[in-house]
Amino acid sequence: MPPETPSHAVGRLDDDDYPAYTMGRAAEMIGATPGFLRAIGEARLITPLRSEGGHRRYSRYQLRIAARARELVDGGTPVEAACRIVILEDQLEEALRLNEELRGRAD
């Protein structure tokens, strides 16, 4: 990730896809451990970006996905199954959004 000027970086904080959070902060925000974030990364639910130093960085969108997976795991769902469920939920939400968009164009 190339360094940014302070004003450019501040403007990106409203971007849901901007990798603004370190692993420690991200884990704290969703009430999980760094190991949980590594596990869902290994399960390919989310792929954090890496800083120039190689540290994982997470976006708000990724944290919402991770928080949903954590809810499922806390309810007894195995990590791999929770990741698959979250992926399917996300795909369904996107398909429904596209469907509505296409219906709007047809009207």
Q: What is the pTM of this model?
A: 0.79
Mean pLDDT (whole number) for 57-78? 97
pLDDT attached to residue 63:
96
CB 91, CB 48: distance < 8 Å: no
Arithmetic mean of pLDDT over the chain: 90
Residue 106's pLDDT is what?
Answer: 84
Per-residue pLDDT tens for 12-47? 667 899 999 999 999 999 999 999 999 999 999 999
Mean pLDDT of 45-61: 94
> Residue 3 above 60 pLDDT?
no
Q: Exposed (0-12), middle (13-18) or buried (19+): which is 61, by Cβ within 10 Å?
A: middle
Where does the pLDDT of residue 10 fall: very low under 50, low under 70, confident under 90, or very high at 90 and above? low
